[in-house]
Structure 1
Amino acid sequence: MTAFTSPVGRQPRGAVKLNGELITGWVEFEVDNNTYYSADTFRCKFAGAKLPTDRNAVWFAEQQDMFVELFIGFPTNPASFSAADLQSFIYGQVDHITIDPISNTIDVDGRDLTRLFIDTKTTQKWPNQTSSQIATQLATAHGLTAAVTATTTRVGKYYEIDHVNMSDERSEWDILNYLADLEGFKVWVRGQTLYFQPVADPTKTTPYPIVYQVASTSAGPKANFEAAKFTRALTVSRGIQVKIRSWNKKYAKGFTVSYPSTVKTIKVGQSAIGAGGQIYSKTVANLTQDQALQYAQNWYKQLVAHEMKLEGLALPGDNALDVTSMIQLSGTGTAFDQLYYPDSINRAMSFDGSYEMTIAAKNHAPDSTVTA
């Protein structure tokens, strides 16, 4: 397979900061930008022989806490640039420092500051505060800037409506995501800022193009990517149905809600083998009938989103694609030519200027959409 011609003059550059200061000696690094509900992660490798004398292996071994910021960009002058000429892709806290004395290398890995909320458990309820007040309070408590859109409903009302038991200890991140879902918001961390606000519909934006060109000559096919695998989950394609069982103490009765109300039947020839769709069931206490239906619809959407997948999609790195983007695959002449939501974007940068991306993305097939 032949790759389409890359832009002329493409000279990506990277930079690494440790505890807010630029450092030399890095060899390569990776950033995994994930979807809203999980932390972004990073890994960075240093060559011991190239590190500054005051940041050598002895210094690394003594560190009890460390913050890393990783930058990638295309500076106007690739021979002379600063971090301000590049884009910051992650600011995170190191989880592990690994020193290899034989190869004389040092690896650090960690997560972005989402980890502050993931690792902090609480039983606090805040019944008389709004979602935005809680988000601002939690951001401030961890020393982060709060980019929060104001809300008006006190969360005690949500607890009452949703029959939520808030006596159990849970992570601050679970609470923030619960409140964001109720408000129709998303919550995420970028750099040293917590965002709690509505986001633009990605389907309204210009999609990122992934283009394949079927072979028409002996030169073979062309593509703007280097590798990819396309997977279709036939368990979903055959049709699925979600069943939610609940018991509501207020009305002293149990019930089951199904979504969609019917599931299509597929037969193999005259045989009944393979007839009917996969049933997914779950028991959730203290829901009303309407809440159970909403729960079933949301779970159904999550399940069918795994029907069509792009995996191991490798291509030259750039800074235009984000997890909030849509990806448009075209040119294969198959059912895989459609829109996809990114699951993760792995960016790998090396000191010699190599910059690559590996993407995982998913969506349901258009003909699997349920409107009933």
Structure 2
Amino acid sequence: MLNTLPTAGTLAAPRSILMVGSKVIDWSDWFAGHNGVYEAGTLRVEIPAKFVDWAWWTQQTEILIDVYVGFPKDPRNYSASDLTLLQTYRVDSIRLNAMTQGITLSGRDLTGLLTDRKVDLKFQNQTASQVATYLAGLVGLTANVQATKDLVGHFFTLDHVSLHRQQSIWTILTYLAQHEGLQCFVLGRTLYFGAFNSALSSNPYLIQYEPPSSDRSYPRSNAIELEFEHDLTLANDVSVRVRSYHGMKNAVYTSIATASKTAKRIERNATLAQSTQQYDYTFAGLTQAQCDAKAQQLLEQISKHEFKMEARLPGDAIIYPWTPIEVRGTGTPYDTTYQAARVMRRCSVEPSRFETTVHGKTATQAQTVVLA
């Protein structure tokens, strides 16, 4: 486990530093989020009037904020080197309140550089690692990339897709990472593309729950708050039907992916999936193989919402979207492993607090990224 239970119950003194370059900025409250692999995490920082230098802030055109958190040995004398770099965020907007004289900063982590930028380039004669290194440099990120061998043109041929159209950089990178069986994520100012087992730990974060007993009228948990949700619609069998007309082949393709309590399967005959909760999608230009892949992808996305969990925990810097969250002790089907869909941390001065909130969904196999 990533965390040790039971906790020792010792007094903790969390500290946080926010930096713009070498400049430490003062703040009263911040919210920092990490989302899944399909969107950038977000940041919001509140700066009260007593710390605001309007002249300095109004002159900035590009602001990157490094968020550090941790538990230094000396909570009265510490620096960023004593803390953990949680994430680097790029400020998208500065809101200045003329009446209170305060400032609110809003931004996203540097995954946003990759999701916002589209490219129309040919990569067939390069490996996935060469492509990742090039694309990281294209947006100014440092590349921590592990070498691969296969040329990416092989992937496109197998999937009957082409990059001779504009795609977001992030779509390309996650597509290539999937084919190589690698991880792809941005942490700080670095794009990681490879098998980073130390970062994407298989060790789960444990939430232990003890229900009330005859000796104790209240529950106990290492979570401050713990809630569960069961989607009764998705608790039944679920079917996803994908249909597509392929102009070059002058053909219509249909694929149905079905998840039941006992099995998951792909069918091409609609009569075999009539007793399920059905979702219909239509896409243009897919082959039969691509319809099958798209149906399976959408089925996984829908099915993973059957069980949901939300937990408010004491603040730390060890839970990320790739961290499995395991719940034990409820004595119900909620005792399972969840995939963190979103991790939100809040740190404030008054009242003094540092908390982590995790939104989890039933863990499934990794989603498939399909370039249409």
Q: Normalised by the shorter chain, which TM-score bucket?
A: 0.7 to 0.9
Q: How does 1:241-320 map to 2 (within 5 A)?
A: 241-247=239-245, 253-260=251-258, 276-311=275-310, 313-320=311-318
1:263 & 1:10 partners in 2: Cα distance? 44
Give 2:48's aligned amino acid: A
Partner of 1:97 in structure 2?
Answer: 94
Runs of 4+ aligned residues of structure 1 deviating over 6 Å after TM superposition are: 201-204, 261-264
Pair 19,203 (structure 1): closer, same or farther in 2 beyond 3 Å: closer
DSSP-derived class of the 2:149 partner:
coil
2:219 & 2:259 partners in 1: Cα distance? 44
Q: CA deviation at 1:167?
A: 3.7
The answer to whether the 8 A contact 2:253-2:287 is kept is no
Question: Structure 1 residue 119 and structure 2 residue 120: aligned?
Answer: no
Pair 73,166 (structure 1): closer, same or farther in 2 beyond 3 Å: same
DSSP-derived class of the 1:173 partner:
helix
Unpaired stretches in structure 1, ≥5 consecutive residues: 265-274, 366-372
Give 2:102's aligned amino acid: T
Q: CA deviation at 1:50?
A: 3.2
Moved more, 58-67 or 78-87: 58-67
DSSP-derived class of the 1:76 partner:
coil
Question: Structure 1 residue 358 and structure 2 residue 357: aligned?
Answer: yes
The answer to whether the 8 A contact 1:48-1:104 is kept is yes
Partner of 2:20 in structure 1?
Answer: 18
TM-score (norm 2): 0.84
DSSP-derived class of the 2:305 partner:
coil
Question: Structure 1 residue 9 and structure 2 residue 11: aligned?
Answer: yes
Describe the superposition over 1:15-34 as per-residue Cα deviations: whole angstroms up to 9, x where unpaired.
Answer: 110133223x3112111011
Moved more, 247-256 or 35-44: 247-256
Q: CA deviation at 1:5?
A: 7.1
2:200 & 2:145 partners in 1: Cα distance? 23
1:188 & 1:328 partners in 2: Cα distance? 22
Question: Structure 1 residue 57 and structure 2 residue 59: aligned?
Answer: no
Q: How does 1:57-206 map to 2 (within 5 A)?
A: 57-200=54-197, 205-206=202-203
2:149 & 2:164 partners in 1: Cα distance? 24
CA RMSD of aligned residues (A): 2.7
The answer to whether the 8 A contact 1:20-1:69 is kept is no
Unpaired stretches in structure 2, ≥5 consecutive residues: 1-5, 263-273, 365-372
Partner of 1:267 in structure 2?
Answer: none
Give 2:280's aligned amino acid: S
The answer to whether the 8 A contact 2:236-2:260 is kept is no
DSSP-derived class of the 2:317 partner:
coil
Pair 218,136 (structure 1): closer, same or farther in 2 beyond 3 Å: closer
The answer to whether the 8 A contact 2:201-2:323 is kept is no
TM-score (norm 1): 0.84
Pair 261,81 (structure 1): closer, same or farther in 2 beyond 3 Å: closer
The answer to whether the 8 A contact 1:163-1:286 is kept is no
